[in-house]
Structure 1
Amino acid sequence: MKHSEAEKVGVLFVCMGNICRSPTADAVFNHHVKSARLEHLFHIDSAGTHAYHIGEPPDRRSQQAALRRGYNMQSLRARRVVPEDFSRFQYILAMDRHNLEELQQNCPSRYTSRLGMFLQYSNQWDIRQEIPDPYYGGSHGFERVLDLVENASQGLLKYILENLNT
């Protein structure tokens, strides 16, 4: 049975430029959803709070690290969060507190309950922890992002499925 976009659970991953962390989360969560054969239930996307890289593919280092683990991000393109995102997505998940604060400043009050930190769905990491921006670091930073994102993606999918009809 096909679901319209309005009936699907919308999940938006947000970082600053939408070229490292949020497209990684987009690709990894999509992978978990497809592996569970549940893509018909979800609308998944990623965006940035800033317009630094609109239209660009994810950072080459993010793509390489993701490919080593079987996640393909080459079709993704950076975009900025737009006002319609707040009504379109039920889960708007920031990678760090700075981007969560940016979202909170721009989100209409009726949608603020949709905002959160992505790592709140992790069962392995301290939920106060942020997903660090690997942009200015070495390759180990991109691996660390993947470790965090993989675990939080599993927890998020479990949480959404457990709360689908509530």
Structure 2
Amino acid sequence: MAEFVAKKMLSDEGLEARITSAGVSDEEHGSPMDPRAASVLTSHGYPCSGHRAHQIDESEIMSADLVIAAEPRHITMMKRMAPEADNLRLIRDYDPNCKPGTSLPDPWYGSADGFEDTLAAIEAAMAGIVAEVRSLI
């Protein structure tokens, strides 16, 4: 979800950046976005076609200016893949109303309402992410 929110927000700000989405595991490799997530994104005006899951790797981490994770454990897992990475951040650390280290709500095992909560959390972090990307360009 964050990939498509970021693409729209950065575009709305006139910023060009390559944005991708990847998981820390390979269990969903090649799968499309969860239909509940796509439905919520679409209903909020975010185009979200063409997504296919893939696992992030050391090369992708090290070639990125910024890698944003959903949970602290994801950062831990990526640090194992790329021990020298200094570009790893947590999405909710960009939300000024969240305590540092807060995880993004994971709606996977719940209802569609959970995807609304996750989208709201992503949107709350976007101003900080836009500012960070602007500083990197």
Specify if TM > 0.5: yes
Identify if the C-alpha distance between structure 1 residues 157 and 131 changes in structure 2 by more than 3 Å, giving closer, same or farther: same
Q: Is the partner of 1:93 in helix, strand or coil?
A: strand
Any stretches of 5+ residues in structure 2 without a counterpart? none
Distance 1:164 1:93 in 2: 14
Superposed CA deviations along residues 50-104 of structure 1, whole A, max 9, x for unmatched, are: 1111111110000001111111222111111122112210111110022111111
Contact 2:104/2:121 (<8 A) preserved: yes
**Counterpart position of 2:103:** 130
**Counterpart position of 2:130:** 157
**Counterpart position of 1:17:** none
Give the alignment's Cα RMSD to 1 decimal: 1.4
Distance 1:60 1:164 in 2: 33
Identity, % of aligned pairs? 24
TM-score normalised according to structure 1 size: 0.77
The letter of the residue matching 1:144 is D
The letter of the residue matching 1:136 is Y
Please report how far the alpha carbon of residue 28 of structure 1 lies from its aligned counterpart in structure 2 after TM superposition. Answer: 0.1
Any stretches of 5+ residues in structure 1 without a counterpart? 1-23
Spell out the pairing of 1:140-151 with structure 2 (5 A cutoff).
140-151=113-124
**Counterpart position of 2:42:** 67
Distance 2:70 2:125 in 1: 11
The letter of the residue matching 1:55 is G
**Counterpart position of 2:30:** 55
**Counterpart position of 1:33:** 10
The letter of the residue matching 2:77 is E
The letter of the residue matching 1:97 is P
Please report how far the alpha carbon of residue 128 of structure 1 lies from its aligned counterpart in structure 2 after TM superposition. Answer: 2.6
Distance 1:60 1:31 in 2: 19
Superposed CA deviations along residues 2-33 of structure 1, whole A, max 9, x for unmatched, are: xxxxxxxxxxxxxxxxxxxxxx0000000001
Q: Is the partner of 1:149 in helix, strand or coil?
A: helix
Distance 2:72 2:131 in 1: 23
Please report how far the alpha carbon of residue 108 of structure 1 lies from its aligned counterpart in structure 2 after TM superposition. Answer: 3.3
Distance 1:128 1:86 in 2: 20
**Counterpart position of 2:72:** 97
